[in-house]
Amino acid sequence: MTTQEYINNNRTGTFKQGDKVVMHTCAEASHYRGKVWECMTDSYKDRGGSDVVFLNDFSGCFSTKFLQIVNN
């Protein structure tokens, strides 16, 4: 389980909590075409070293390399 303390200690700055993003160039992007997601946490390095973020209403964390910020 990833704790808020772990996220705080491993932040990357790619995205911050509350940012709006869309998925691109991955299998999920086809399934969720056009869906705007809200970042539930700041982005951080997971235990495997990948830059990830938790998204509201999405199970598990998601790689930031497949996310693009949406300007409101």
Identify residue 58 by its one-letter amino acid code.
F
Please tell me the distance from the alpha carbon of residue 63 to that of residue 29, in angstroms, as a whole number: 12
Looking at the DSSP bridge assignments, the partners of residue 54 are 61
Dig out the tokens for 17 from the structure: 């909590």
Structural domain for 17, as ranges: 4-69
- How many CA within 13 A on the CB side of residue 58? 23
pLDDT over threshold 90, residue 71: no
Please tell me the distance from the alpha carbon of residue 49 to that of residue 37, in angstroms, as a whole number: 23
- Please indicate, yes or no, whether the overall pTM of this predicted structure exceeds 0.85: yes
Q: What are 1-46's pLDDT values in tens digits?
A: 899 999 999 999 999 999 999 999 999 999 999 999 999 999 999 9
Please tell me the distance from the alpha carbon of residue 13 to that of residue 35, in angstroms, as a whole number: 23
pLDDT at 72: 64
Mean pLDDT of 44-54: 97
Q: How many domains does the chain have?
A: 1
